[in-house]
Amino acid sequence: MDNLTLLLSNVGVTAFSFFVAAPVTLNAISTFGVQKRFARAMIEEGVIEEEKVRQMERKKQLAGVLVSLLVLCAIFYVASRISFGLVCLTVALALGLFRYRKILQFNSLTVKRFQNTYRDEYDADRLNRYVDKMF
């Protein structure tokens, strides 16, 4: 029974690291990179006002960093208490970061996150023209 508990614990750490910790971490990183660049491009295109971006950007960056730190600390704590937990954590997190790397790229996901962040604050027609031109 002890081996089964260890196996299930490591499977839980691995799954959580791959499916939750990696995407949350990449999303927090993307708020400082690709999402910030996209918001600047939208300001230049006249899609949204700079003041609205400044208000939301800081809140979103702070929330992303806090949530990802909380998730990473929790999973690291749990993994450090289990035999081979840190190995499972490291491998799953590395594979998850590789698998979900598109979060850091300029793509349609960036547009969706922009739309979700700035609901009812942007000019939809200009955004659609920009998306049609760039994608």
Per-residue pLDDT tens digits for 75-101: 999 999 999 999 999 999 999 999 999
Tokens, residue 119: 């609901």
Give me the half-sphere count of Cα atoms (radius 13 Å) on the Cβ side of residue 12: 14
d(CA 76, CA 70): 10
Tens of pLDDT, residue by residue over 47-58, are 999 999 998 998
d(CA 105, CA 91): 22
pTM for the model stands at 0.83
Taking every pair of Cα atoms in the chain, the longest distance, rounded to a whole number of angstroms, is 63
Report yes or no: 89 and 76 within 8 Å, Cβ to Cβ.
Answer: yes
pLDDT of residue 1: 53
